[in-house]
Structure 1
Amino acid sequence: MENTANTANTAPASDRAAATALVTNWVALWNGDLAIADAIISPDNRVHAAMFDGGDGSAVGGVSGMKGLVTQMRSLMSDLVFSVDVGPIVDGDHVVVRWVATGHYGGGIPGAGAPVGTEVTFHGSDILRVADGQVVEYWLNADTLDLMTQLQVGAS
C-alpha cells in the first residue's frame, strides 16, 4: 500500500537543524542584531510585504534593504522583542515561522493616538525561501490591523 500521508512537514533532520539555526539568526536580526544580516541575507533577496507607505516591498532588496526594514520597524519601538510562536516548518527550500512581537511605542506613526510608551503585542508569519543557507525571498504577513488598533491610528 502506498503512503499518501502529507510529508511536507517532515523534513530530514539536517534540513530541520539548518532551518532552526536560520530562524534563530532571523529572530536575532529582527531583535536588532543587524550584523547577522550579512551572513543570512542574500544580496539578491526580494521582499514581498504590505508596507506602511502602501508599497509592496519590492523596493526593499538585498542585505541593505533588509537592514533598513528592520531599522525602520525598530525606530517605532526600539525595545521590540520578537519570539517564535510556531515553527520552523520546513518544506523544501521554504521555511515558515509564526512570530509574536512585543514592545513599547516610541512615536512616529502619523495619526497614532496612543501615547508614547504604550505596550503593544502583535503577530505575524514569515515565509523564507532559502538557498545556500541565505534568505533569497521573504514574504511578510503581519497583523498590522491589530498593531494599528493598539496604536489608535485613525481613532477619534
Structure 2
Amino acid sequence: MRKTLCSFLLFTSIHSFADSIVEVERAFAVAVPPGQRNSAAFMTLKNNSARPLMLVAADSSISEISELHTHSEVDGVMMMRKINQIEIPSKGKAELKSGGLHIMLIGLKTELSAGSKFDLSLKFSDGSEQDIVVPVESISMQSH
C-alpha cells in the first residue's frame, strides 16, 4: 500500500510539474547592422497547463532593457507599444511574431549578427522562469 501511495504521489508531482511547463518553439531574434541599438525576439509559447499563464517579463544580458511589446494602429500608422503581459491560453499558444507581439531588445550591448546566439530568461505569472538560447537570423532567413 505504501509503495502504491508513494508511486501515486510521485506521478502526481511529475504530472503537475509537466502541466505547468511552457514549451518554447522556434525562438529567434533579428540580426541588425553594426551600430543598431535595438532588435526583437520572436517565438511561439505553448501552454500545456489547464490554466492560462502570462509571460510577464523577459531579461537578457545582451540588452540594457527587454520589454514585452505589441503593434497597434494609431491614426492609420502602425506603432509599437510596451505591454505588461502576454497571455498564453490554457492548452493554447501565444505567437510572438513580426508585426505583432514580440520581445523588444533595447540598448544592445553587443552586435547581433546572423549565426550568433544569446541567452534570454522568460518569467511567467505563476512565478516560474525559463532560460532559453535564442539564435540570431538575418531577415532573409525568417519564414513568416
TM-score, normalised on structure 1?
0.29
Instruction: Compare relative contact order (CA 8 Å, sep 6+) and give the higher one, 1 or 2.
Output: 2
Larger Rg: 2
Q: Which protein is richer in helix relative to its size?
A: 1
Q: Which of the two has greater strand per residue?
A: 2
